[in-house]
Amino acid sequence: MSSWESYQVHGDDLGELVRVQAEPTPGLLTLHTHAALRPEVGQLETHDYLLPGGLLLSEISGHLHRPLTFVQDVAEPWVGLLYQFRGHADSWMDGTRQSLVPTGQHNLLWEDAQRLTHTLYPDAQGQYRAFHLKLGVGLFADLVENNAEWLTLYRARLPRQEPFLLLREAAAVAPPVTQLIGQILQCPYAGVLKRVFLEARFMDMFVEQQSYFLRHVAEPRPRRSDRDLFHAIRHHLDAHYAAPPSLLELARLFGLNDFKLKRGFKAEFGTTVFGYVANKRLSEARALLETTARPVQEIGEDVGFANPAHFATAFRKKFGVAPSQVRRDPALLKAAGQAAQSIAKETSPSS
């Protein structure tokens, strides 16, 4: 057998090769598994957390001298988020569908195959490390069906109950997700508190991951006709920023649903409708403070702030000085802007 031939073992046979330590807790089963393979193959360890709803958080790591192939029989359909940190993995489902996750990348997989064949390839240093998040299809559907934005990713797929890879090609793991995986694996708690901590980190991770998918799967840049429409919406907001329509009213006015309005506007302008209106109000207030002698409260009301305190707080947060200070000394705005630029320059990575 050459050094890069794959060593094969069936999942059921691994029981003769492993040591398992189990830590049962109400609502949580923790398993630490060490697979003592042949010396010429290497060693592999897994750390598993099994939670209600068929939720499994699993780290697979080890030192391998050659690729390791194992066959696994699966009884129920599942959804998996697969993260590869060292080496890479190549999986076949029922011998027909392939899933390849290279180093430093991830993907989401819905699978109903009853037999999975995985080949784990170590990196140049012989290291292999991956993290898998698997959950039952029922729990997955409950999570995404209660969020209108997430549902756009899966609406066409959920009713069919057919296998799919969400990303055509695996993509880089986002830093926030890497940090959350680290927190899961370094959980400092025990007992019930450990279960609560792991469930909370799972939800943080799931939310972060769906946000990533929305940006990279369902966030195409608007077509030219759509872009013209969103520029018309912005022009309407410029004219009515002091008393803008609600999102629903704005969507109906331009023949959109509120979801497409929010997503398309942010994709085109890099900010939300609310954020754009807030910035427009403050920019107009600044211009009025600098070019007129009108009272501060009157200016705040004219740009859409019914509460003077809210106006003062928002203005100070954006420009670094209160509107009343600008009224007394307009030069303060310029000075605050220069100070902010100086701080940004001093703290930039290139300085």
pLDDT tens-digit map of 52-92: 888 999 999 999 998 988 888 888 889 999 999 999 998 88
Q: Which helix (H) or strand (E) covers residue 228, if one does? A: helix 224-239
- Per-residue pLDDT, 344: 35
Burial of 225 (0-12, 13-18, 19+ CB in 10 A): exposed
pLDDT at residue 97 greater than cutoff 80 = no
Q: How confident is residue 345, by pLDDT bands cut at 50, 70 and 90? A: very low
- Per-residue pLDDT, 236: 92
**Does residue 308 or residue 35 have the better pLDDT?**
308
Question: By mean pLDDT, which of 16-25, 177-186, 189-198, 318-327 is the weakest?
Answer: 16-25
With the C-alpha atoms ordered 194, 179, 137, 9, is the resulting torsion angle positive or negative? negative
**Does residue 260 or residue 16 have the better pLDDT?**
260
What CATH fold (topology level) applies to the domain 7-216?
Answer: Jelly Rolls (2.60.120)
Tokens at 241, concatenated: 């920023």
Q: How confident is residue 277, by pLDDT bands cut at 50, 70 and 90? A: very high
CA distance 118 to 185: 23
Backbone angles phi, psi at 269, to 5 degrees: -115, -5
Question: By mean pLDDT, which of 128-132, 157-161, 239-243, 312-316 is the weakest?
Answer: 157-161
Where in the chain are the domains?
Answer: 7-216, 224-345
**Does residue 17 or residue 31 have the better pLDDT?**
31
Q: How far is CA 10 from the centre of its chain?
A: 34
CA distance 54 to 346: 50
**Cα Rg of the chain, angstroms:** 27
Taking a C-beta distance cutoff of 8 angstroms, is the pair 89, 109 a contact? Answer: no
Alpha helical stretches, state H, 146-223: 148-154, 175-185, 191-216
Q: pTM (2 decimals)?
A: 0.60
CATH architecture label of 224-345: Orthogonal Bundle (1.10)
Taking a C-beta distance cutoff of 8 angstroms, is the pair 176, 190 a contact? Answer: no
